[in-house]
Amino acid sequence: MRLDKYLADLQVGTRSQVKEYVKKGLVSVNGQVVKKADIKIDEATDEVRYQGKSLSYQKYRYYMLHKPSGVVTATKDNIDKTVIDLLPKELTKDIFPVGRLDKDTEGLLLLTNDGELSHNLLSPKKHVAKTYYVECDGQLDNVKIEQLCAGVDIGDEAITLPAKVEVITIKDDNYVIKLTITEGRFHQVKRMIQAIGGQVIYLKRLSMRSLVLDETLEKGDFRELSAEEIAGLKS
């Protein structure tokens, strides 16, 4: 990789800015000050320092976000705050959300620049499991729960794939459940509950494949994924 691209990718500055930094002798490679920004380096093995500070190149970045309500799952929006806006600007280069959560839905959202992983997690052929905490307005008796487990007609060409349902409690005559689905259709959870005569009044995603929401994260907060969490998503 060219040195100027390496520095720009690490948000040291723009391509033109980092070229000036190199000319001024502010950058060293393997302990030697360099004066040419177009030299090639090995980002995996070479030690690059800027103003004496060691830089570390990470091709792919992975962040877990506890998405709050009122924020849209997009990289840009002319009206609403986006999930990308919740990250410091210096971390947002090429970052995008994996999948979508509705504006009023909270919970786990993966942000990354790894397009291959995103494709694998979202591909309909992969049937990646996603679990939601759902508060429903209306009674969900055993018959309706069995319908969810078998698959319901939400107005698409095919009924939904079988889901898993765990009843947590009954709260003010409303059912609170955990619902696990293996598809990602538009407004799927809400439409599934509507199909059996209920209505979602609160929705929060708890997990996606092996990645589980870190409940120590406050709404709107994020953290990097651990190596184990990344490996679990890719397995």
Q: What is the per-residue pLDDT for 207?
A: 98
Q: What is the per-residue pLDDT for 90?
A: 81
- Residue 219 falls in which region: left (phi positive, over 0), alpha (psi -120 to 50) or beta: beta
* pTM of structure: 0.82
Secondary structure (3-state) at 5: helix
| Average pLDDT along the chain, 235 residues, taken 10 residues at a time | 90 91 95 94 90 87 97 96 94 93 98 96 96 90 94 96 92 87 96 95 97 97 96 94
Query: Is 153 an annotated catalytic residue?
Result: no
Could you give the CA distance from residue 67 to residue 218 in angstroms, rounded to a whole number?
9
Domains and their CATH numbers in the chain: 3-55 (3.10.290.10), 62-124+211-234 (3.30.70.580), 130-208 (3.30.70.1560)
Q: What is the per-residue pLDDT for 192?
A: 97
Q: What is the per-residue pLDDT for 11?
A: 81
Instruction: Give the active site residue among 46, 77, 85, 102.
Output: 102
Residue type for position 158 = A
